[in-house]
Amino acid sequence: MTGTPETEAEILGAIGFLNEVMARYPQAISFAPGAPLLDGITRERVIAAVDEVAGHSGAPGWNALFQYGPSQGIVNADLARALSAAGACTVGATDITITVGAQEGFILVLRALELHRRGTLGIVAPAFAGIRGAATFMGAQTVDVLEGPEGVTAADLEAACGRADALGEPLRALYVAPDFANPSGTVIPRQARLELLHAARGRQVLLIEDTTYGFTDPDVPPSLKALDEHGVVIQVGTFSKVCFPGARVGYVVADQPWNGSTLATWLATLKNTTTVNTPALSQAMVAGLVLSDPAALAERQRMLRNSYRDKRNLLLTALDDEFPDASELGLSWNRPTGGFFVVMQTRRDLDHAALQHCAACHRVLWTPMRDFYAGRAGDTMLRLSCSHVPNDQIREGVRRLGAFLRETSQDAAAQ
């Protein structure tokens, strides 16, 4: 049912492995991490942001930011206003739980749904390694739902439900990233979103919506949560990409009725026994930098969007120039209009050992796509992240990648 990769340790360690390789080869040009730009994030700006939040009328002040805080969060009202202003969804402060990054959000949601006890989690694949790791950590049974060129469809959901029902463990939730999914860059069209919502309601399947990369294109359709009229969507978000990942602030929008209150409130109760609370100081940083003023958030998103677009265009142009013989080499790649990533198809297996060889001999890093699937579907593909590479290093990084791929092509021809 799961098409499980080789070991549990590989699933849980996929992200850590990349960090280890990057640390081992600091001089390599790295297309590996989905790390954000930190333009405008300085020590002085962060301190000023927290000062601003602590000094607001009715605010708890600096001393309270050094203490434990409520498990559900302290910036919920600010976030609810920001989501409403952006048209992302209209919810109240009590419908939100602030988490230690999106990763804690996934873990809390899976625990609340008791997927470790019954039912199956569908994962639209390829998928962010963190959701697969969270499911493994929680002991949840999973099934990959392979996406098409426009993401997952209602028919895909129906087919996955049929497979799960046949094995006696009904599909209870589906993880989906509708906007520039990591790593594939797919975007689900508006009509397909409506059909997916209809199918989810009919099948009583909750959709766990990952919104991480939607801000990278202002023309994406409304989020699943914004279109949801029947409470089938749980939205998970993060400020790692629009603020900075070191703050470790994410959130879950979960307004479904639950145990006499809302699911968000139950998530906060569960959080009491994990991280207790998301650090108030971190929440204040995010609030002061982008949340307390919706216009500031919109402006930062616009600035980052333009920068990522330029980097993506540089990467795609460099690939076109480096591989005029792409078809002869068995290479192809997608051309996303948003997000951080480009996915390349090759003829060779590209596992962790191949990455380490490439790092040692060619001084360029990428991510094996096998980490984004259960099973072998991604074995001959790699992911290139353009988000964090300096513009003046992108072409040189692609040149080094070209040397590696031509070397592997020659090895394949010799076998």
Residue 5: what pLDDT? 45
Higher model confidence: residue 173 or residue 87? 173
Residue 137: what pLDDT? 93
Residue 62: what pLDDT? 80
Mean pLDDT over each residue of the chain, to the nearest integer: 91
Chain-centroid distance of CA 48 in Å reads 29
The percentage of residues in the chain with a pLDDT greater than 70, rounded to a whole number, is: 93
- Directed axis angle between helix 101-112 and helix 263-271, to 10°? 110
Residue 4: what pLDDT? 43
pLDDT per position as a tens digit, 109-163: 999 999 999 999 999 999 999 999 999 999 999 999 999 999 999 999 999 999 9
* Placement of tokens 């616009």 in the chain: 302
Residue 95: what pLDDT? 96
Of the candidates 181, 153, 190, the one whose C-alpha atom is nearest the C-alpha of residue 337 is 181
The percentage of residues in the chain with a pLDDT greater than 90, rounded to a whole number, is: 79
Residue 242 · residue 294 · CB < 8 Å: no
pLDDT per position as a tens digit, 245-270: 999 999 999 999 998 899 999 999 99
Span 300-309, mean pLDDT?
A: 95
Span 385-400, mean pLDDT?
A: 96
pLDDT per position as a tens digit, 3-58: 344 566 665 556 677 778 778 888 999 999 899 999 999 999 999 999 988 877 55
Of the candidates 358, 374, 317, 409, the one whose C-alpha atom is nearest the C-alpha of residue 124 is 374
- Directed axis angle between helix 154-166 and helix 190-203, to 10°? 30
**Distance in angstroms (rounded) separating the CA atoms of residues 278 and 186:** 31
Span 200-224, mean pLDDT?
A: 96
pLDDT tier at 1 (50, 70, 90 boundaries)? very low
Regarding beta strands 120-125 and 141-146, do their DSSP bridges make them parallel or antiparallel, or are they unpaired? parallel
Residue 55: what pLDDT? 78
Span 198-204, mean pLDDT?
A: 98
pLDDT tier at 177 (50, 70, 90 boundaries)? very high
Residue 396 · residue 380 · CB < 8 Å: no
Residue 283 · residue 73 · CB < 8 Å: yes
Residue 15: what pLDDT? 65
- Domains located in the chain, CATH noted: 5-30+305-408 (3.90.1150.10), 43-297 (3.40.640.10)
Residue 24: what pLDDT? 86
Residue by residue, DSSP assigns 346-357 as -SS---HHHHHH
Alpha helices, H only, 86-143:
101-112, 129-138
Residue 9: what pLDDT? 60
φ, ψ at 237 (rounded to 5°): -135, 175
Residue 415 in this model has a pLDDT that exceeds 90 = no
Residue 79: what pLDDT? 94
Verify cis geometry, omega within 30 degrees of 0, for the bond prior to 33. no
- How would you label 305-334 residue by residue, b for 16+ Cβ within 10 Å and e otherwise? bebbeebbebbbebbeebbeebeebebebe
**Distance in angstroms (rounded) separating the CA atoms of residues 141 and 122:** 9
